[in-house]
Structure 1
Amino acid sequence: MSGTRLTVDSASVVLGGRPALRDASLTVDGGELVGLIGPNGAGKTTLLRAVLGLVPLASGAVRAESSPIGYVPQRHEFAWDFPIDIAGAVLTGRTRSIGWLRAPQAADRAAVARALELTGLTGLRRRPIGELSGGQRQRVLVARALAAEPELLLLDEPFTGVDVPTQHLLNDLFGQLTREQGKALLMTTHDLAAAARTCDRVVLINGTVVAEGGPELLTDPEQMLRAFGLDRAMAGKGVIA
């Protein structure tokens, strides 16, 4: 481990007058991938947005020990009809360091090149983003986040709707980022199989943090019942609809 990169301490968020997250606490250390797992509406994306400062905290605190934070949104949140190629889309991840209306420098182009190589997109760099498959689009979003050279990376459902080769590539990449580069990753996912394979720890959430532990937590009937309201037979199999 390389020290704690993220601390969420008793964080609560109220959206539209209703609680979206209640008294949630977790940590993510350098060199580990933590899976954030729960049903739809459980507060997973809200927690990520609170870490990014996109939604205000009603109480509690969030402390990120490194800046910038890399963020991989869900694919539908990106404007795929924008007339830009892969390299240009990944370069937008450098906006904070480049500044508005300024030309990218050698360091920016080098960061983009490294991100493209890590995600297997170098040979496709000039392809328009509107022509990409779902798996290729997911890799673009990951590359865009990596171009910022973050020590903390937040990923919102990176395995949803991607093909098997992309799943394998992402599995390998996430392992490289944590074990070899010491980065901290916090990932929301509905894919229990992917979480069991890739995560060092999992955090079950349903409005608040229900439980946390190793990937074996995903087959704990009592904890899955608490997090998802599953019947005991389904919970015992670690099944989520």
Structure 2
Amino acid sequence: MVVVSESVSVRSLTVRYGNTVALHDVSASFEPGTVTALVGHNGSGKSTVLQSLAGIVEPASGAVDIRHRRISYVPQRSDVNDRMAVTVGEVVAMGTWPRRGILGRASAADRRAVDEAIDRLKLTDLRSRRLAELSGGQRQRALLAQALVEHGDLVLLDEPTTGLDAEAREIINSVVDDEAARGAVVVMATHDADDADRADVTITLGRGEILSSTRRDRRFVGGGAHDGRLASGQ
């Protein structure tokens, strides 16, 4: 069980890629035990928020407060070289590397975590298959299984169900719910309206700014594209 009492947050975050502003003055808070969906058109800044939280991109200004949490980041499938000559079991086992290092020996607990993740993502029959031989949904499940093994208390998912069949979507959504239920902070970028509706909080981005933010039970902030931040104390 993850025990996290404080939220993860970004404050007045601005990110630039060359002369392009990807995020402008964005502030948001992500609570333990909840799923936050980031929605918006391509180029709205969804993936940049995730990559900022993951420490992949450096902000031009502002701050990211993650309090030294363990981070599990699952990128879009298009960002992964699925032609790597590795099996599903090897991909999932990579989730133990942050604990033991690439050359360290896997412990019994590591091996058990890999087995459990493969079982949860319904990959047992595919364990010896190479990543290149899998369907899109199967590859995405393998990447999510790797994240489960990492056992992060900040779980970042970039378009986890986009283009997948109903079975894969159901499996992934169940795991997402379980991760929040154990107390993790879960943040996912999605184009899928059903995924957004299932989330506890939905943040809509446009042109790198926050357009609106809603909880499942009530709307708690209004304002236009130039507001750029969530209400405090949400």
Q: Same fold (TM over 0.5)?
A: yes
Q: Deviations over 1:121-174 (max 9, x none)?
A: 233212221111111111011111111110110000011111011111122221
- Checking the alignment, whether the CA contact within 8 Å between 2:4 and 2:153 is kept in structure 1 is no
- Checking the alignment, whether the CA contact within 8 Å between 1:5 and 1:66 is kept in structure 2 is no
Structure 1 residue ranges without an equivalent (≥5): 228-241
Structure 2 residue ranges without an equivalent (≥5): 227-234
- Checking the alignment, whether the CA contact within 8 Å between 1:49 and 1:55 is kept in structure 2 is yes
Alignment of 1:146-225 (within 5 A): 146-179=148-181, 181-196=182-197, 198-206=198-206, 207-215=208-216
- Output the CA distance in 2 between the equivalents of 1:121 and 1:4: 34
- Checking the alignment, whether the CA contact within 8 Å between 2:37 and 2:195 is kept in structure 1 is no
Alignment of 1:1-241 (within 5 A): 3-179=5-181, 181-196=182-197, 198-206=198-206, 207-215=208-216
- TM superposition shift of 1:47: 1.2
- Output the CA distance in 1 between the equivalents of 2:78 and 2:92: 16
- Output the CA distance in 2 between the equivalents of 1:93 and 1:148: 5
- Output the CA distance in 2 between the equivalents of 1:190 and 1:134: 17
SS class of match (1:4): coil
* Residue type of the alignment partner of 1:161: G
1:234 is aligned to none
TM-score, with length taken from structure 1: 0.84
- Output the CA distance in 2 between the equivalents of 1:171 and 1:217: 22
Q: Deviations over 1:39-71 (max 9, x none)?
A: 110111111111111111111110113532000
- Output the CA distance in 1 between the equivalents of 2:22 and 2:191: 19
- Larger RCO, structure (CA 8 Å, separation 6 or more): 2
RMSD: 2.2
1:231 is aligned to none
Tell me the number of residue pairs that the alignment of Structure 1 and Structure 2 aligns. 221
- TM superposition shift of 1:23: 0.7
- TM superposition shift of 1:226: 5.9
SS class of match (2:150): coil
- Output the CA distance in 2 between the equivalents of 1:130 and 1:170: 20
Name whichever of 143-152 and 208-217 sits farther off: 208-217
